[in-house]
Structure 1
Amino acid sequence: MQGVVLVLNAGSSSLKFAVFETAEGRLAPLGAGQVEGIGATPRFVAKDAAGRPVAAPSWDAGGAPANHAAALDAIIAWLEPALQGRPVAAIGHRVVHGGPEHAAPVPIDLHVMAELQELVPLAPLHQPHNLAGIAAAARRFRGVPQVACFDTAFHRTQPFFADTFGLPPAFHARGIRRYGFHGLSYEYIARRIAAEDPALGAGRLVVAHLGNGASLCAIAGGRAQASSMGFTALDGVPMGTRCGQLDPGVVLHMIDAMGMSTAEVARLLYNDSGLKGMSGISHDVRAIEAAGGEGAERALGYFAYRVRREIAALATCMGGLDALVFTAGIGENARGLRARICEGLGFLGIALDPARNAANAPEISAPGAAVRVLVRATDEERMIAEHTLAVIAEGGPR
Structure 2
Amino acid sequence: MSPDMNGIVLVLNAGSSSLKFAAFAATPAGPEARYAGQVEGIGAAPHFVAKDACGERLADRRWEGAEAPANHAAALAVIIDWLETALQGAPVIALGHRVVHGGPDFAAPVLIDLHVMAELQDLVPLAPLHQPHNLAGIAAAAKHFRGVPQVACFDTAFHRSQAREAQAFALPRRFFDQGILRYGFHGLSYEYISRALAAEDPALGAGRLVVAHLGNGASLCAIEGGRSRASTMGFTALDGVPMGTRCGQIDPGVLLHMLGTMGMTLPEVTKLLYSESGLKGLSGISQDVREIEAAGIEAAEQALEHFAFRVRREIGALAASIGGIDALVFTAGIGENARALRARICRGLEFLGIALDPARNEANAGDISAAGAPVRVLVRRTDEERMIAEHTLHLVAAPRGPAA
Instruction: Indicate the TM-score class for this superposition, using the shorter chain for normalisation.
Output: over 0.9
Tell me the amino acid that sits aligned with residue 139 of structure 2: A
Structural mapping, 1:247-266, within 5 Å: 247-266=251-270
Give me the whole-angstrom Cα distance separating, in 1, the residues matched to 2:28 and 2:317: 43
Q: Alignment length, in residue pairs?
A: 397
Verify: 1:41 aligned to 2:41, yes or no. no
Verify: 1:279 aligned to 2:292, yes or no. no
Q: What is the match of residue 126 of structure 2?
A: 122
Cα pair distance change 1:63/1:339, threshold 3 Å: same
Tell me the amino acid that sits aligned with residue 169 of structure 2: F
Q: What is the match of residue 314 of structure 1?
A: 318
TM-score of the superposed pair, with normalisation by structure 1: 0.97
Q: What is the match of residue 163 of structure 1?
A: 167
Further displaced range: 209-218 or 167-176: 167-176
Tell me the amino acid that sits aligned with residue 145 of structure 1: P
Give me the whole-angstrom Cα distance separating, in 1, the residues matched to 2:349 and 2:32: 40
| 2:48 and 2:59 in contact (8 A); partners too | no
Q: What is the match of residue 376 of structure 2?
A: 372
Q: What is the match of residue 71 of structure 1?
A: 75
Q: What is the match of residue 347 of structure 2?
A: 343
Q: Cα deviation per residue 1:307-334 (whole Å; 9 max; x = unaligned)?
A: 0000000000011000000000000000
Q: What is the match of residue 390 of structure 1?
A: 394
Once the two structures are TM-superposed, the CA of residue 119 in structure 1 deviates from its matched residue by: 1.4
Tell me the amino acid that sits aligned with residue 327 of structure 2: A
Give me the whole-angstrom Cα distance separating, in 2, the residues matched to 1:141 and 1:395: 21
Further displaced range: 49-58 or 379-388: 49-58
| 2:45 and 2:62 in contact (8 A); partners too | no
Give me the whole-angstrom Cα distance separating, in 2, the residues matched to 1:395 and 1:176: 35
Structural mapping, 1:1-398, within 5 Å: 1-24=5-28, 26-59=30-63, 63-395=67-399
Further displaced range: 211-220 or 163-172: 163-172
Tell me the amino acid that sits aligned with residue 43 of structure 1: H
Tell me the amino acid that sits aligned with residue 40 of structure 1: A
Give me the whole-angstrom Cα distance separating, in 1, the residues matched to 2:66 and 2:337: 34
Give me the whole-angstrom Cα distance separating, in 1, the residues matched to 2:72 and 2:399: 29
Q: Cα deviation per residue 1:241-270 (whole Å; 9 max; x = unaligned)?
A: 100001111111111111111111111111
| 1:107 and 1:396 in contact (8 A); partners too | no
Tell me the amino acid that sits aligned with residue 327 of structure 1: T
| 2:45 and 2:64 in contact (8 A); partners too | no
Give me the whole-angstrom Cα distance separating, in 2, the residues matched to 1:355 and 1:26: 36
Give me the whole-angstrom Cα distance separating, in 1, the residues matched to 2:156 and 2:110: 13
Give me the whole-angstrom Cα distance separating, in 2, the residues matched to 1:202 and 1:99: 27
TM-score of the superposed pair, with normalisation by structure 2: 0.96
Cα pair distance change 1:396/1:155, threshold 3 Å: farther
Give me the whole-angstrom Cα distance separating, in 1, the residues matched to 2:165 and 2:225: 18
Gaps of 5+ in 1: none
**Percent identity among equivalent residues?**
74
Cα RMSD (Å): 1.3
Once the two structures are TM-superposed, the CA of residue 55 in structure 1 deviates from its matched residue by: 2.8
Q: Cα deviation per residue 1:182-234 (whole Å; 9 max; x = unaligned)?
A: 00000000000001000000000000000000000000000000000000000
Give me the whole-angstrom Cα distance separating, in 2, the residues matched to 1:26 and 1:237: 35
| 1:352 and 1:366 in contact (8 A); partners too | yes
Where 1:57 maps in the other structure, the secondary structure is: strand
Cα pair distance change 1:374/1:108, threshold 3 Å: same
Where 2:259 maps in the other structure, the secondary structure is: helix
| 2:331 and 2:380 in contact (8 A); partners too | yes
| 1:255 and 1:262 in contact (8 A); partners too | yes
Gaps of 5+ in 2: none
| 1:106 and 1:396 in contact (8 A); partners too | no
Tell me the amino acid that sits aligned with residue 85 of structure 2: P
Structure 1 runs of 4+ off > 3 angstroms? Answer: none
Once the two structures are TM-superposed, the CA of residue 62 in structure 1 deviates from its matched residue by: 6.6
